[in-house]
Amino acid sequence: MSEHDREAAAAAGDERARSAPAEATGPDGGELDGVDEALALVGPRPGDAPAPAAAAAGGRAAGPATRRHRGAPWAEARALAARIGRAAPPRTHRVPLSEALGQVLAEPLTALCDLPSFDTSAMDGWAVAGPGPWTVAGEDAILAGHGDGGPLPDGTAVRIATGARIPPETTAVVRSEHARVDPAVHQLHADREVVTGQDIRPRGQECRSGDQLLPAEALVTPPVLGLAAAAGYDELVTFARPRVEVLVLGDELLTSALPHDGLIRDALGPMIGPWLRALGAEVLATRRLGDDAEALHRAVTTSEADLVVTTGGTAAGPVDHVHPVLRKAGAELLVDQVAVRPGHPMLLARLAPGRHLVGLPGNPLAAVSGLLTLAEPLLRGLAGRFAPDPYRAPVRDEVHGHPHDTRLVPFVHRDGRLVPLHYNGPAMLRGTAAADGLAVVPPGGARPGDELEVLDLPWATWTPWTPSDEQGGCFT
Ligand SMILES: Nc1nc2c(c(=O)[nH]1)N[C@H]1C(S)=C(S)[C@@H](COP(=O)(O)OP(=O)(O)OC[C@H]3O[C@@H](n4cnc5c(N)ncnc54)[C@H](O)[C@@H]3O)O[C@H]1N2
Ligand code: MOO
């Protein structure tokens, strides 16, 4: 199966595309079905020539008429982006533990040794052999990290530290606070019953060498790094992070100091790269290209990234170069506009087999919307990450809806309910900066108590403070 076939099969909803053998897809219409589904998400914009995808498919009409002016339904666009991500052939690599955080295991994590790898004292105290009282064997203590001593003779006790190797023939460890030494006769007495095996962690208690500790596709988190190190790993085999390049468009953007003379600060350059990293991507570069169509064409056609993310220039203004540049580059539009507010001019295109572009609208919250709708599911697939099970939660307040489109509205979790935040207009980040996530508001809106789908933000910390309710609603 070629990379192109695999992507087309994925667009057609074939979950097995990633591993399907070459002969699984023949000239049976499967590829066309995939392209058809992608095309169904592409609606012509007023005054546009047919999209390259439509031309490539023989100039057929692109999608049902009802979708033409509204864009793809939000859930469909998101699902298509996810399938395209999952269809890409996975790249795996071996990385040192120090570089593996946030990546996904490409192989199961199998214990390379028993854990613990020797019988270990769980407490500071005394290793004892047989029933007490015990004769104290010398002044020395057995410390953690030290080599093998001899066996402990029956009736004797030796001082031992937490983490030290238990001498052979030891029957129990007595905690220092539960025993006293009679100095006159060098005898140790326990002040409570001693049970055989107490406070000894036997070798292999947590795992035996060869046990599977985690399956492939587990996310490498800090405890996974700790577990891998404990189990003997120096390196892990993971899915390589998808490589992303961010192209920030707009002549009006400043990179420092205060806005002036109609110029504004670039809010997306500082935000998109770190957000993509939080989604598991390797950001090769964030480049500011102004409104230069030539520079954009060069950047798009020469990029080595798996995914190019552009910001701005998606609409039909005089310097909105994304569509014309994609046409010139022979890209295939897979999603052109999505029925979501903010962010409806967002788009997804295939630049070449295995290389895609997500065009984020320039309004900052519209860009966030595009990031969550198209870039996040695509990257999740490329990075080998599972989508968390979608969940819903009741909304506390009424939320106005768009008559036809889905709305994404920043919220905070409070007492099991979603509290929608103000300052959620397309050009605003104030609500999102305080948010735990974005709530998916269906066309027509939501009433208090309605359950809404929740898109948690990757760093959601369940903000302890409540952003002010005094702030007036503002939607533009
Ligand atoms: N005639 C129409 N005009 C617009 C429509 C429409 O349907 N018909 N859609 C509007 C919507 S909705 C959006 S969203 C924007 C999308 O525009 P673009 O993607 O072409 O973005 P720009 O025009 O370049 O910028 C829009 C807006 O955002 C500001 N911007 C851009 N980049 C940044 C940045 N890095 N940091 C901060 N702010 C940025 C830019 O200055 C503009 O104010 O189009 C509407 N127009
Ligand atoms: O997509 Mo736009 O964000 O509604 O302004």
Question: What domains can you pick out in the chain, each with its CATH number?
Answer: 3-91+240-382 (3.40.980.10), 92-114+206-239 (3.90.105.10), 120-201 (2.170.190.11), 392-456 (2.40.340.10)
Instruction: State whether the beta carbon of 364 lies less than 6 angstroms from ligand 1.
Output: yes
DSSP percent split of the chain into helix, strand, coil, nearest 5: 25, 30, 50
Q: Which amino acid is at 424?
A: N
Instruction: State whether the beta carbon of 366 lies less than 6 angstroms from ligand 2.
Output: yes
Residues 6+ apart with CB under 8 A from 309: 244, 245, 246, 247, 272, 276, 357, 358, 360, 371, 375
**Alpha carbon nearest to ligand 1 atom 16, residue:** 361
**Alpha carbon nearest to ligand 1 atom 30, residue:** 362
Instruction: State whether the beta carbon of 320 lies less than 6 angstroms from ligand 1.
Output: yes
Instruction: State whether the beta carbon of 12 lies less than 6 angstroms from ligand 1.
Output: no
DSSP characters for 412-443?
Answer: EEETTEEEE-S--STT--HHHHT-SEEEEEPT
Counting atoms of ligand 1 from 1, which one is nearest the CA of 363? 28
Measured between alpha carbons, how far is 144 from 140 in angstroms, rounded to an integer? Answer: 13
**Spacing, Cα 312 to ligand 1 middle (Å):** 6
Instruction: State whether the beta carbon of 250 lies less than 6 angstroms from ligand 1.
Output: yes
CB 395 within 8 A of CB 414: no
Q: Which amino acid is at 164?
A: A
Instruction: State whether the beta carbon of 341 lies less than 6 angstroms from ligand 2.
Output: yes
**Alpha carbon nearest to ligand 2 atom 1, residue:** 343
pLDDT tens for the chain, 476 residues long, are 444 444 444 444 443 333 333 222 322 223 323 344 454 456 444 334 434 333 333 222 333 333 345 799 999 999 999 999 999 888 999 999 999 998 999 999 999 999 999 999 999 999 999 999 999 987 788 888 886 778 999 999 999 999 999 999 999 999 999 999 999 999 999 999 999 999 999 999 999 999 999 999 999 999 999 999 999 999 999 999 999 999 999 999 999 999 999 999 999 999 999 999 998 899 999 999 999 999 999 999 999 999 999 999 999 899 999 999 999 999 999 999 999 999 999 999 999 999 999 999 999 999 999 999 999 999 999 988 888 888 999 999 999 999 999 999 999 999 999 999 999 999 999 999 999 999 999 999 999 999 999 999 988 755 555 565 544 444 44
Q: Which ligand is nearest to the CA of 425?
A: 2
Measured between alpha carbons, how far is 14 from 18 in angstroms, rounded to an integer? Answer: 9
DSSP characters for 330-347?
Answer: T-EEEEE-EEEES-TT-E
Instruction: State whether the beta carbon of 429 lies less than 6 angstroms from ligand 1.
Output: no
What is the CB neighbour count within 10 angstroms for residue 272? 26
